[in-house]
Amino acid sequence: MFNTLLPYLLAGISVGGQYALIAVGYTLVYGILRLINFAHGDIFTAAGFFMIYLTASLPIGISIPLVIILTVILGFTVERVAYKPLRSAPRMSIMISAIGVSYLLQNLMWYLTGGLAKQYPVLPGLSQTIRIGSATTKVVTIVTPILTILLVFALVTLINKTKIGMAMRAVSKDFETSQLMGIKINNVISVTFIIGSAMAAVGSLLYFTNYTAVTPTVGAMPGLKAFVAAVFGGIGSIPGAMIGALIIGICENLIKAAGWTAFSDAFTFALLIVVLLFRPTGLFGEKVTDKV
Amino acid sequence: MKKLLALLLAVMLLVPAFAMAENVIKIGVFEPSTGDNGAGGKQEILGIEYANSLKPTVTVGGEEYSVELVIEDNQSLTDKAISAAQSLVSKDVAVVLGSYGSGVSMAGGDVFAEAGVPAIGVSCTNPNVTLLCDYYWRICFLDPFQGTVMANFAKELGATKAYVLTMLGEDYGVGLGKYFVDAFKGLGGEVVEENFTEGTSDFAAYINNAVSNGCDVVFAPCATTYAALIIDQAAAQGVPFPLLAGDTWENSAILNAAKGKDIKVYCSTFFDENDDAAAAAEFVSGFKAWLNADSSKMTNNGGNDIVAAVSALGFDAYNVALAAIEAAGSADSAAIAEALPGVTYEGVTGAIAFDDVGDAKKDMAYIKFANPETGAFDFVKTQSVGQ
């Protein structure tokens, strides 16, 4: 029994870890801005394309940091251009702006890349296959959950122990008051987008090493699932996003193992609905207290 | 000054009028150059363009007409296909070639039928393309045939239990999968069928299912975007069984995915570039030279000069269209539609003659193996089925 399930579990943990890295970006931005950054999945896709074009002319060792830097610049620019001018606008406007950015990025990539699937470069080490028990898989499957946990741990430490982390917590509690206390709100928001984009870039490295084709719309589904994971775990909570993502990744693969392949996506979203019915704030969400 | 400007504008208006006076006949090219099937669609367009470069004119009723190709991208999507088809119709094309992909052809077929523009299917293999549309003809073989061929081939490889994986809602894959299942069961084999949804990247669980169900062959007719992922993940899990598919897999994307990996990939297709028939050999050498002369064409072909079967079909489709225009003796769509059923043509992919439904009578498929060492397709055998 365990031997049959092992390959599914491995695949589930791996894809869950990759969702987690994207989900962190959603949950961070939501925690601070109360904004669902719909463009996040496309920033993840863009990171995939950066890697393909950079490795065409540069060695992998230089490409990887460059990909992370470029993705961070993209995330930062999106925030400055499309969200910052709308800071005092109603929340709906900024949400529409996010959807607009998402489609803009998608179509830009469509135009610039010619709209065909591109083959992701082979990362030495990560792409090799190894044998674990009864399952054969890529090394990246094992690396993903470990790297995800390390990154999430580092991020939680950053938020709890550093000055910028304290500022982020303050801003997420109360926007106006923290501004009055002398916190430079724009800097805090930029840092949020920088961290979120960097995580998405790392996530894209792992995801595309496993699933090697990059198309302009490839980020839509993982982006949506990561968003579900973030809501599932309690949006605003970083460990929640990670655990939510792992649960979704594993459940998805187990459902496929049971033979209901056509329903695995439907299941993900049904699970979300059920959880929200019983725990409207998600698994680890903070209780909503209305202040008067 | 005003008069001068008015004169200038008048001249500018006249110029297109003069251009119109020259005899031009428009042939619509209805193909995907982006999306899931973009890679194959581009190769099909190349075949059509090459044919056009060889025969840029056609004689209609004693007059020389120059042929203009009007290319529209249907983006591999059935909803976009309708607007692409409408755009071709509004540009007054006399006849349409395409498309790669059966779903988009069916979607566009209604538009062409309504406008009375005949369409020649190049590599759309689903029977319904011509069956449900009176204005669609086709020059390639059909899925019931292709499915049976691959089922026979799977049996010859010694397979007893097949895992059939198709994309939900994709006319081509679901249709071909069904014909394979019917034929394979008819040969006494067992079948496990599963679907994936559009946009899936994670095929690990599907491969696991094939292994845990004890299947010894996988048949996965789908777009090359998904095929590359399936091959890569099957190789990562070290599966011992071969992967089989239909004509879409004869593409550089498959070769790139399989290259250097321990995996066996076979596909059936319409044409083999090492065919030693005179017409085919001449086409292959001419097409290769044409590709090598232009780096952008080489890129569209997938970065190498391997001749895809769909390019050969595109070449034949263009020539069939010209033959139909000549037979009609008119540049009018209705006359061409009337002349098309009677057209016979000796093409590089074999003789083409249409049956009552509008399908070419073709009864031979080429089976190829994606060689992971050389990164090229090896010809395995030709296969036909006796009914």
Q: Residue A249 belongs to a domain with what CATH number?
A: 1.10.3470
Residue B361 has pLDDT above 60, yes or no: yes
- Give the percent of chain A with pLDDT over 90: 47
Q: Do residues B160 and B254 both lie within one domain?
A: yes
pLDDT at B284: 93
In a domain, A67, yes or no: yes
Is residue B3 predicted with pLDDT exceeding 80?
Answer: no
Which of B43, B51, B5, B6 minimizes the C-alpha distance to B27? Answer: B51
Q: Is ipTM strictly over 0.90? A: no
Place of tokens 């009055």: A180
Query: Are residues B345 and B287 located together in one domain of the fold?
Result: yes
Supply angle C-alpha A19, A23, A26, rounded to 5: 150
Range of the domain at A203: 2-278
Cβ-contact A229, A135 below 8 angstroms: no
Residue A212 counted as domain residue: yes
Q: Is residue A292 part of a domain?
A: no
Omega cis (within 30) before B99: yes
For chain A, state the CA radius of gyration. Answer: 19
Which residue, among B290, B342, B294, has the nearest Cα to B314 in the 3D structure? B290
Same domain for B45 and B124, yes or no, is yes
Tens of pLDDT, residues B252-304: 889 988 988 889 999 999 988 887 788 889 999 999 999 999 988 998 888 88
Which of A261-275, B185-199, B291-305, B365-379 has the least mean pLDDT? A261-275
The predicted-structure confidence for B342-354, as pLDDT tens digits, reads as follows 999 988 988 899 9
Task: For residue A221, give the chain B residue with the closest CA.
Answer: B199
Spatial separation of the C-alpha atoms in residues B246 and B243, rounded to whole Å: 11
CA distance A232 to A267: 13
> Does residue B28 form part of some domain?
yes
Chain B residues in contact with A204 by the CB 8 A cut-off are: none
Nearest CA in chain B to A140: B236
Q: How many domains does chain A contain in total?
A: 1
DSSP SS3 for B132: coil
Helix A40-55 to helix A220-232 angle, to the nearest 10 degrees? Answer: 130
- pLDDT value of residue B387: 45
If asked whether residues B89 and B127 sit together in one domain, one would say: yes
Looking at chain A from residue 48 to 77, which residues have their Cβ under 8 Å from any Cβ of chain B? none
Q: Residue B95: beta bridge partners? A: B27
Clarify whether residues B246 and B265 are in a common domain: yes
Task: State whether B43 and B150 are in the same domain.
Answer: no
β-bridge mates for residue B166, sequence order:
B195
**Same domain, yes or no, for B247 and B374?**
yes
Between chains, do A256 and B205 touch, taking CB under 8 Å as contact? yes
Q: Do A27 and A240 form a contact (C-beta atoms < 8 A)?
A: yes
Picking from B36, B208, B228, the nearest residue to A257 by CB comes out as B208
A212 to chain B, any CB pair closer than 8 A? The answer is: yes
Domain around B209? 143-269+366-383
What's the CATH code of the domain at B370? 3.40.50.2300
Task: Answer whether residue B378 shows pLDDT above 80.
Answer: yes
- Residue B155 near residue B242, CB atoms below 8 Å: no
Q: Is residue A267 part of a domain?
A: yes
- Is B182 a member of any domain? yes
- Tell me whether residue B7 is in a domain: no
> What pLDDT does residue B9 have?
65
Same domain, B47 and B128: yes
B383–chain A nearest CA distance, Å: 31
Task: Note whether A116 contacts B168, CB cutoff 8 Å.
Answer: no
**Which two tokens mark B188?**
């006494």
Q: What is the pTM of this model?
A: 0.84
- Candidates B166, B200, B208, partner chain A, best to mutate (most A CBs within 10 A): B208
Residue B360: inside a domain, yes or no? no
Q: Classify residue B302 as left (phi > 0), alpha (psi -120 to 50) or beta.
A: left
**Which residue, A84, A81, A120, is CA-closest to A211?**
A120
What are the tokens at B248? 């879409």
State how far residue B270 is from chain A, nearest Cα, in angstroms: 23
What stretches in chain A show pLDDT beneath 70?
1, 286-292
Q: Please measure the distance between the N-terminal and C-terminal CA atoms of chain B and give it in whole angstroms.
A: 79
- pLDDT digit string (tens) for B49-103? 999 999 999 988 888 899 999 999 998 888 899 999 999 999 999 999 989 989 9
State pLDDT tens for residues B129-165: 999 999 999 999 999 999 999 999 999 999 999 999 9
Instruction: Give the dihedral sign, CA A4/A5/A8/A14.
Output: negative
Q: Are B272 and A252 in contact (CB under 8 A)?
A: no
**Which alpha helices (DSSP H) does chain B contain, by range?**
2-21, 38-54, 78-90, 102-115, 128-131, 143-156, 171-186, 204-212, 224-236, 252-258, 278-292, 295-300, 309-328, 333-339
> Quick one: which of A253, A250, A280 has its CA closest to A264?
A253
* Whether residue B265 sits in one domain with residue B285: no
Which segments of chain A are extended strands (E)?
A: 118-119, 129-132, 135-138, 213-214
Same domain, B170 and B76: no
Residue with tokens 């839509």: A220
Asked whether residue B4 is domain-assigned, the answer is: no
CB < 8 Å to A220, chain B: 199
Closest CA–CA distance from residue B46 to any residue of chain A (Å): 16
CB distance A89 to A112 below 8 Å: no
Q: Clarify whether residues B205 and B338 are in a common domain.
A: no
The answer, yes or no, to whether residue B14 has pLDDT greater than 70, is no
Residue A90 belongs to some domain of the structure: yes
Domain count, chain B: 2
- Domain membership flag for residue B37: yes
Residue A204 in any domain: the answer is yes
Which ranges of B118-263 does DSSP label H, i.e. alpha helix?
128-131, 143-156, 171-186, 204-212, 224-236, 252-258
A40 contacts chain B (CB < 8 A): no
Same domain, B33 and B127: yes
Flag if B194 and A262 touch (Cβ within 8 Å): yes
- Position B13 confidence tier, pLDDT thresholds 50, 70, 90: low
Question: Which pLDDT score is estimated for A288?
Answer: 59
- Give the pLDDT score at B354: 92
Rounded Cα–Cα distance for residues B310 and B265 (Å): 19
Mean pLDDT (chain B) is: 89
Determine contact: A113 vs chain B, CB below 8 A: no
